[in-house]
Each structure stands twice: as structure tokens, then as C-alpha cells.
Amino acid sequence: MMHHIGSWCTIADLNAPLKLLGMLGVLNVVQGCYEVKVKKASRPLSAIESHYVYVAIVTYDSKAIVINGERRILISGSIHYTRSTPEMWEDLVMKAKDGGLDVIDTYVFWNVHEPSPGNYNFEGRYDLVKFLKTVKKAGMYVHLRIGPYICAEWNFGGFPVWLKYVPGISFRTDNEPFKNAMKGFTEKIVNLMKSEKMFESQGGPIILSQIENEYGSNWGQVSHGSCANKMMPPDPIINTCNGFYCDEFSPNKPYKPTIWTEAWSGWFTEFGGPVYERPVQDLAFSVARFIQKGGSFFNYYMYHGGTNFGRSSGGPFITTSYDYDAPLDEYGLIRQPKYGHLKELHKVIKECELALVSSDPIITSLGSLQQAHVFSPKSQCAAFLSNYDPNNVAKVTFNNVHYTLPPWSISILPDCKNVAFNTAQIGVESTKMEMLWSDSNMFSWETYNEDLNIVDESSIITSMGLLEQINITRDTSDYLWYTTSVDVDSSESFLHGGELPKLLVQSRGHALHVFINGEYSGSSFGTRKHRKVMYKEKINLHGGINKIALLSVAMGLPNIGGHYETWETGVLGPVALYGFDKGKRDLSWVNWSYKVGLKGESMNLISSNPTSSVTWTQDSLITQKQQPLTWHKAYFNAPKGDSPLALDMNSMGKGQAWVNGQSIGRYWTTFASGNCQGCHYAGTYRPLTCQLGCGQPTQRWYHVPRSWLKPKNNLLVIFEELGGDPTKVSLVKRSITSN
């Protein structure tokens, strides 16, 4: 998912064993997308074959997805298994079910499942099959979004970085190397699902699957909320919509159902930006508006957003928190009134289901900005009374009865008489999310200063000129050292009272720390919208040989944009010195040395058993030093109770943190800029409509899953890039209180 919309490739039931379906004549295959249609068998079926046919048949018509011959209004929510822990999955899924959902939607994350070609990982948080079995156990369906491109504010859009280096590849185009790689991963996932009997026709939970994602954005169709419905995917693929509103969307063929694969419950957060909320009144209004226009399947993106653990966030500059203002917050707690108000909406929609799937709406005007959508098959009558005026209450007459409609709202009448639900009228008590002190204290703080002297010559790359960062690191680390030497003649004027020279460094991102002769000189940072970095400051040089070391820091790889695999990162120049007696000295094409990662990374300082001996300093003066590029570690005991936990990093600057060797993610306490001038639900929503947290750190708290903790002596390791006071880092509890 991303803020750019595209057309989708959604498939009705990627299903039973291919050999069986082929024998029955029920499998159509088009460009990797599969659809099951019931056809007459070519011969009498055995008992086992009959079982496969009758376990569940998933197809569709113009009105809806059809399961076992019944049209269904299906309510779905996105929960990503990688953004939580296996210990959280059952609770998340059950809360989704209790909230009125039928379907759990998840992407499949190629880069975590195939970190190197042919080597697969489905363990721990990446145990896709276990997650799907959890959904099945709850009696829910699955929409499996295989991708392989997912966007998702995820590193490299879900593509493994090694894919970039396949000879001759061009992402998301009619390119044989790309199609072969995509085919290989897709078949791997499909075959895994088949072997585990995960498809509905095998008795599993998967009723829908998706190939590709938001392809319209690849064609430059990037407006908010627009559905790239001009795209014409080949049959039997169903094209669908993403956006804040999708009531104007219609599929490209009249015999396909209207599906909304991403109804955005909020918006993602970027470091340096505010937190965005979407009022539940507007979200409910958008869903009711979609249903009254004949929509039959909608999915909340996200229903639970979760956490970008490790270095998984993309963007770049996407925060570690992927809360998304979802009905279930980042920690899995119920967010009210969003959760409860939507639950009531789902209940009323289900009351109208038979009428909705059995007839087309009759639309009548009730005023200049008011309408009635009436579904009235013989068995039932349901009505939606809409007021599109964002400012004024509307009094309307429908079937000789008077109704009052709040601004920007829809009233739902399951019997065409009585209002059972209005999108703008909330009957659920609100709750407040708080971070509370826990009874866990950090103890035994120790410090290790990152060694700026490159000792291991075997790990150094040397080149004339500046090299692109990802080509060297292959994304094995956020960090890359660029180092060169400058010989300063003792006669230079600035050595004898003159003005200090200036160093200019231009970088393609995303952050830069400058060291002159082993001393920290300064930093510069990009943003998500302006990834490029420029550093131009006076520096101290001495006569003779001077060492200039530039630490370039990546903040996640891009996840969307045309041919983003070609986008460059790192110090690509120019790099120059100004203020010498003979003018500018261009360093862009001198000899540079490169070192991937930090010494602390290579020594595995995040582990309780480092790979080599490390002398940590037990320093009572730690708060006074606050040096850049410093490792800190401490121990703590797990707090009592079962409340979700987080690290309060308000006293720190920028870096990464680990608990018992597990990466909490990137932290950065940079302040949020924006326009936090209040929020009103009425009117067309955009993220800028509702901003929070201006002037505060974009993200102060970082989720620590309880399942990662031992009762005692848990190891916290922090790598701080800028300098901070780790002794003020604390573990807090996420709590809900009633307003």
C-alpha cells in the first residue's frame, strides 16, 4: 500500500491441486493469476475429487464474490504477520473477528522470505503458514496478496535487494529476467499454500489472492484516492480500487464485482512529520458510500498496522511505528471509538446483506446534496440516506417519513423505515492511549565508543571517485564510511589566522555525519520528500595529512516510483573544499576508501555473546560525554503484568536499538513539523486534514514485544549516532483509559 493508487490484479480463489483442477477443466491461468469457475466435469468424479469440488467453490458475478453459491458482502482488514509477533497473532485475529470482519488480508513479503536467491525463511515472525492457520482457526477467510511487489512502506517495496543485481533486470516491466524471478517466487508461495492445504477449495481459508499491486502508480497515475480504473487487466483478473474513497470506482467489465482492496483507515508517519489521524465518522461514511453504490468487498488498510521492526521500513524515512490510526493500535489494543463505531457499521451492513446482493440500488434525490439509495428485492428492503453537505444538517422526507441527517453522513435503514446507524453519530465511549511508568529500571549502564580507525584492511574497498552506497553495502547495513585524505601545505593562510576552509558534501541521502581527523564536525539530514543531503560547514584542518571521514546513513530503501531500483543513495558528490589559497579543491575524483557498516556491528555488540572481546566502559560520566557514534548497553527485568511495552527514547537522538539481540528498529527523536490546527470529520479527507504532534518528536516510544523478554536480566543495546543520555531511557507500559 502507498499513497499512490493503481489497478489491482485480484483473483477469485487460487485453489485446489493444479492437477485435479486441470482434470476437471476448472482452472484458468492468465499471467500468473488464477480463477476457479465451476464447469462440468469431463468424467464422473471419485469421492475425493467430489470432496474438493464441494468443500468450497469461490467465484463471482457482477454483484459480489460468491462462496458455495451464495453472494457475500465481505468485510476485511489488513494485518501483516511481519509487523507483529506470533504470540500476538491470535489476539489480533480474534479482535478483528469480534469487530465484525470476515476476512484477514495480508501481503507476502518477498525480501524476508527469500533473503538470498533460493534460500527461504518462514520462521518466527515470517511463519506465513502459522499465521494463516491462526486465521482459519478463528473461522475467518484470507485474502493473500502475493505481490511480489507490495509497496507497503516496506523496504524496497518488498523486493529483495539481490533482485536489483540480476543481469538485465528492469522492475515491473515486460522484462524476462524480472518475470522469471517473479514467477519463481510466486510459484514458491502458491505451491507452499497448496502443500499446506490453505486454499478454500482444499478446506483452507484463502478465498482471494492477488498478483502485483498498485500498478497504476507505475504509469504516473498518482493522485490521492484516484483508482486507476482505466487499466484493462486481462480476464479473469478483477481490477480493484485503493483510496480514501472508492465510491466512484467501477471494474473494467460489467460482470465483475466492485472491490475496494484498501480503504485507508489513517496514514503512515515519516520522521520529521506529524502523526495523521482519520476521523472514524469519515471512514464509516466512505464505507457506507461504497456499499450504497453497489460495492461488495472492502478491506481496511490497516486494521492493525503494527511495527516496522529491524530495518524493514522503507520510504525512506518511514517511522518504526506503523500504527496507521488503525482500529487496533500498534500494540494490538482496541482504539475507541474507531473500533466500536466500525463494529456497529459492520453489524448493520450484515443486516442489509440479502437486499444488497440481490438487487441494484434505486437512487432518488432528497435535496441538492442529499440522496436515497434503496435496495428492494422481494424479500427485504434496505435504504441508505445520504447527506453530502459537509457543513449543514439536512432534513429530508423519505417514504413519507421525516429524517434528520447530520453533515457529511449516511443513515442506514435495514428495513427502509428505522435508522439503525448513522456514520456521523458515535455511540461508543472514547478511550485515551497513554504511556505509563513501569516498575522496570535500567541498570549496569556501559559504553563503547565506535572505533573511527579502520584497522581491517581486508574489508576496505578503494576507488577513484565516489561510489553509490547500496551497490557496496547491498543493504547489509545502514552505514557506509567514505574516507579520503587531504594534504595541507603549512603555508596556507587559514593556518595563520585566516578564515577556516569550508567542506561541501552533497549526498543522495539519507543522513550524513562528518568527521575530520577523528573529531566529529557535524551532521546533515534529508527528508522523505527531499532525500538529498547537503553539508557545507567550516572545518578544522592542520598542516600535513588530514583525514576526512563521511558516514553515510540509509533510512530505508524506496518502495514506490518508476524504476526505483535505479535510484541512487549515498555520497555521490560533489565533495569539495573551499578557502584554500589556490581556490577550490575538488575531492570528487580523488582516491576514496569504503568500509561497510560499523565496527560494533561486525563485533556483534547487540548479542550477549559478542564475536570478539570488547572493552565496555562502566562510566559514571556517561551523561556528560554524550559522544556521537556510541554504543550503550544496560540490563533490565521484565515489568509485571501483561500490558504492552515500549522504550521511551526521548533523551536520545538518532540510531538503532536491540533487546536480547532482537532489533526494535530505527529511532529518531527529530521534531515533527506540520499544521496541527485541529480536526473536523466533515468534508473530503486528506492526511493534512488531521495532524497531531507538531513540535514533539515524531516518534518517542518504540514497541518492545513482551515475548522477546525473559523475567530477568534482559539486554538493551543502543547505537546512538548523535549523542544522548541513555540513562534516561525507560521502559513504559501502553495503557488505555476512558475519556
Residues involved in catalysis = 214, 262
**Are 216 and 172 within 8 A, CB to CB?**
no
Amino acid at 18: L
State the Cα–Cα distance between residues 206 and 198, nearest whole angstrom: 6
State the Cα–Cα distance between residues 125 and 83, nearest whole angstrom: 8
Amino acid at 20: L
Residue at grid coordinates 476512558:
738
Residue 170, exposed/middle/buried by CB under 10 A (0-12, 13-18, 19+)? middle
Read off the DSSP letter of residue 116: B
CA atoms within 13 A on the CB side of 346: 22
**Are 293 and 285 within 8 A, CB to CB?**
no
Helices 280-292 and 338-351, interaxial angle, to 10°?
A: 20
State the Cα–Cα distance between residues 37 and 28, nearest whole angstrom: 8
State the Cα–Cα distance between residues 389 and 410, nearest whole angstrom: 11
**Are 312 and 319 within 8 A, CB to CB?**
no
The DSSP annotation for 705-733 comes to -GGG--SS-EEEEEEESS---GGG-EEEE
Residue at grid coordinates 518492545:
704
**Are 445 and 720 within 8 A, CB to CB?**
no
State the Cα–Cα distance between residues 219 and 24, nearest whole angstrom: 38
What phi, psi does 175 have (nearest 5°)?
A: -130, 120
- The grid coordinates listed for 290 are 461504497
State the Cα–Cα distance between residues 497 and 55, nearest whole angstrom: 87
C-alpha dihedral sign at 79, 80, 85, 87:
positive
- The grid coordinates listed for 577 are 573544499
Strands 519-525 and 533-538: unpaired
The CA-based diameter of the chain, rounded to the nearest angstrom, is 99
State the Cα–Cα distance between residues 78 and 80, nearest whole angstrom: 6
- The grid coordinates listed for 731 are 521502559
**Are 628 and 723 within 8 A, CB to CB?**
yes
First CA to last CA across the chain, in angstroms?
A: 32
Strands 370-375 and 362-367: antiparallel
**Are 263 and 301 within 8 A, CB to CB?**
yes
State the Cα–Cα distance between residues 385 and 237, nearest whole angstrom: 33
State the Cα–Cα distance between residues 312 and 2, nearest whole angstrom: 15
Amino acid at 726: P
State the Cα–Cα distance between residues 565 and 173, nearest whole angstrom: 12
What phi, psi does 10 have (nearest 5°)?
A: -105, 140
**Are 729 and 720 within 8 A, CB to CB?**
no
